[in-house]
Amino acid sequence: MTTTVYKVTGMTCGHCESAVTGELSTIAGVTSVQAVAATGLVTVTAGADLDDEAVRAAVDEAGYELVGRA
């Protein structure tokens, strides 16, 4: 298992957290996602290292912007 923390901009509420969590959860290998709007941090746990571009695409699909790894 690997855990990575990402910085995401644009999240302001619980709905935002749910949108980001839902999209990231669709990436193969992801076992858990915790998004915190107050800090803009998203913690993703997966069975192996994730492709940052796949993470970026999922965050974009949710309507937010991935800044990078925190």
**pLDDT per residue over 21-59, tens digit each?**
999 999 999 999 999 999 999 999 999 999 999 999 999
Question: Residue 7: which pLDDT band, with cuts at 50, 70 and 90?
Answer: very high
CATH code for position 24? 3.30.70.100
Number of domains in the chain: 1
Q: What range defines the domain where residue 41 resides?
A: 2-69
pLDDT, average across residues 3-28: 98
Residue 25 is predicted with a pLDDT of 98
Please tell me the pTM assigned to this model.
0.95
Given a contact cutoff of 8 angstroms between Cβ atoms, the answer to whether 56 and 70 are in contact is no
